[in-house]
Amino acid sequence: MPSESIVGLTEYSRLERTKFPRSWLRGLSALVVGAGALGNEVVKALGLLGIGRMTVVDPDTVEASNLTRSVFFRVPEAIGRSKALAITEAARRLFPDTQSTGIDSEIADVGFQDVAQVDIIFSCVDTDLARLEIAFIATRLNRAVCDAGLDGYDSSQGRVTYFPGAGSACYCCLLSDQRRRDLLTLGESSVRSCWPSLDPSDDQSYSSTPTMAALVGALQADFGLRRLLDPPDTRAGASAVEVSLDPVPRLGVLRVHRSKTCPFHEKRIHAVAAPKPAARTTVAELLDSANEGGSCPAALVLDWPICARARCGRCGLIWEPLRRLTWFRRFGVCPRCGHRGLVGEEVIRAVARDSPWAECTLSGLGLPERHLHTIRLGGRAD
């Protein structure tokens, strides 16, 4: 329970003179992806404003270096704890008017039903690959994304970009064709070995300074909420603010338009929820429930390809990881010898009704609970 002193501080009358009235904010739900330095600042800003609901997603644990860059991790006891759970536990104490929930996983493993309930996604991640996953989910569910990042020497530069939804540009639209290919290949290719160096986003991470993270995180929260309150015309594209403090302070504004070659804006049809919990629903049952009369061939189209069969390059072990291919390539190790040199020998991108994988449960394939599954009617798996 929040202390009496904290409860007495939840007075929002001055917000009524701003663009953030209490009547609007308490009805909002935000998803914060990434609980590092930027994520801490966004959570702080949203909590002080008294937003109604806030969910934080991050698979990592708190390290000693986080204590000097993240306001909610300023106690030694936080080291080793889940970032998402630690930050929301602290937020519940400080911001009792906000319903705060932490999810200890990667955003790609969160069920789309839960993401579909939020009004805005704040992207506080530090790799292009994570931003690409957020962009796919947001365009699929038509949700606004406010993304931010730090770079430059001593993290002296920052950028905040607002993507209005499926009808406008997404983060994938910003990437060059080559960069887009590199990132999508990481999650699609079934012939390359699984080595850590294959992740092309590894060299994009920057160590943030607490001052610049505070500046950009506050700008991200404010910019995202203002755009959400007064939505821009999606035809105008995404809008971005860039700030630099070194060597010459400057502030710039730019627009990014939807790319004709971005694959995330292709239409997807027939998104359905499972009739029962994922652990008790087979792919065949899901397809039958979506197909109603059963007259059309149907296939489950996976949002993320799954590594179904792998081989260790050292000891030769063959096994069925049944994990997202991107996760497998970045984190997979041989269960017998711990080697990182793995080969994905079979990758599943879709499951037809007559596939042997159709008898697997949804959770057995690594699919999350409360998901919205894409069903293709009148076709077969690739």
> In this predicted model, which residue has the larger pLDDT, 198 or 359?
359
What is the tens place of the pLDDT at every residue in 255-284? 888 998 899 987 766 789 999 999 999 999
Tell me phi and psi for residue 60, to 5 degrees: -90, 170
Instruction: Measure Cα distances from 11 to 45, 72, 118, 181 in Å.
Output: 15, 22, 25, 50
Q: 């850590």: which residue's tokens?
A: 196
Indicate the pairing of strand 120-123 with strand 157-163.
Answer: unpaired
What does the alpha-carbon distance between residue 163 and residue 227 come to, in Å, rounded to a whole number?
9
What does the alpha-carbon distance between residue 277 and residue 150 come to, in Å, rounded to a whole number?
40
Dihedral angle of Cα 148, 154, 157, 160, to the nearest 10 degrees: 10
Those residues whose C-beta lies under 8 Å from the C-beta of residue 139, and which sit 6 or more positions away, are: 165, 166, 170, 264, 265
What does the alpha-carbon distance between residue 179 and residue 186 come to, in Å, rounded to a whole number?
11
- H helices then E strands: how many in the chain? 11, 15
Sheet holding 157-163, edge to edge: 99-103, 53-57, 29-33, 120-123, 144-151, 157-163, 238-244, 250-256
Check whether 194 has a pLDDT greater than 70.
no
- Residue 380 binned pLDDT confidence (cut-offs 50, 70, 90): very low
Amino acid in the structure at residue 100 = S
* Average pLDDT over every residue of 284-303: 84
Instruction: Measure Cα distances from 231 to 119, 120, 148, 225, 343 in Å.
Output: 12, 12, 18, 10, 46
Task: Please calculate the CA angle 221-58-257 and round it to the nearest 5 degrees.
Answer: 50
- Which candidate, 222, 204, 72, places its Cα nearest to that of 125? 204
pLDDT of residue 233: 77
Check whether 223 has a pLDDT greater than 90.
yes
Indicate the pairing of strand 298-312 with strand 342-352.
Answer: antiparallel
Instruction: Measure Cα distances from 143 to 10, 60, 115, 147, 351 in Å.
Output: 29, 25, 9, 13, 27
Those residues whose C-beta lies under 8 Å from the C-beta of residue 130, and which sit 6 or more positions away, are: 33, 34, 106, 107, 123, 201
What is the tens place of the pLDDT at every residue in 113-168? 999 999 999 999 989 999 999 999 999 999 999 999 988 666 789 999 999 998 89
What does the alpha-carbon distance between residue 227 and residue 326 come to, in Å, rounded to a whole number?
32
Question: What's the pTM value of the predicted model, to 2 decimals?
Answer: 0.90
Indicate the pairing of strand 250-256 with strand 342-352.
Answer: unpaired
Q: Which helix (H) or strand (E) holds 185?
A: helix 177-188
Identify the structural domains of the chain with CATH numbers, from first to last: 4-178+203-265 (3.40.50.720), 271-377 (no CATH)
Q: Report the chain's mean pLDDT, rounded to a whole number.
A: 88
- Residue 207 binned pLDDT confidence (cut-offs 50, 70, 90): low
Check whether 373 has a pLDDT greater than 60.
yes
What does the alpha-carbon distance between residue 217 and residue 48 come to, in Å, rounded to a whole number?
13
Q: How is residue 318 written in tokens?
A: 């063959």
Supply the Cα-derived Rg of the chain in whole angstroms. 22
CA atoms within 13 A on the CB side of 90: 20
- Residue 206 binned pLDDT confidence (cut-offs 50, 70, 90): low
What does the alpha-carbon distance between residue 147 and residue 220 come to, in Å, rounded to a whole number?
7
What does the alpha-carbon distance between residue 203 and residue 183 come to, in Å, rounded to a whole number?
13
Dihedral angle of Cα 128, 132, 133, 138, to the nearest 10 degrees: 140
* Average pLDDT over every residue of 324-330: 90
* Average pLDDT over every residue of 331-351: 94
Do residues 264 and 170 lie in contact, with contact meaning Cβ atoms separated by under 8 Å?
yes
